[in-house]
Chains A and B, each alone.
Chain A
Amino acid sequence: MHDVWTISETLNGKLKQISFELLARGRKLADDLGVALCSIVIGDGISDEEAQTLAHYGADVVYLANDSGLASFECTRYANVLLSLIETHKPEVILAGATSSGRTLMPYVGIKAHAGLTADCTELAIDEKTKNLLQTRPAIGGNIMATIITPNHRPQMATVRPRSTKILEPDYGRKAVIQYVKYPDKVSVSTISVTGIRPFEGQQSSIDEAEIIVSGGKGLKKKDNVGLIEELAAVLGGEVGATRDAVDRGWISYPHQVGLSGKTVSPKLYLAVGISGAIQHLAGIKTSECIVAINNDEQAHILGLADFAIIGDLFDVVPELTRQLEKRNNA
Chain B
Amino acid sequence: MRGEAFYRNLFRLMNEHFIGLKFLAVVWEQDQALTRFASSRIHQNVAERKVSLSVLATRDNKVALATSNDLTVSGLKTLREKLETMLEFATPLDYEFSLPEVSMGYPVENVAESLKKVSAEQRANIFDRMLKIATNDVQLFGYVSDSVTENVIISSNGTFLYQSFAGVYFNVVAMCDSASGYASGVAKSYDELSVDEKVERAVRFAKMSKNPVEIDPGSYTVILGPEAVSDLFMYFGWLCTNGYTHELKISPSAKYLGSRIGPNELNVYDDPTHPMQLPFVYDLCGKKREKMAIIENGVFKNVFYAHGAALRFNKKPTGHTLNLDDLDSSVPVNLVVDAGNTPVEEMLSDTKSGIYVNRFHYMNIVDPQEAIFTGMTRDGTFLIENGQLTKAVKNMRFNVKFFEFTQNIEAISKEIETVASEYFPQIAPYMKVQQFNFTSKTA
- Pairing of A with B: no
Measured CB to CB, the residues of B under 8 A from A are none
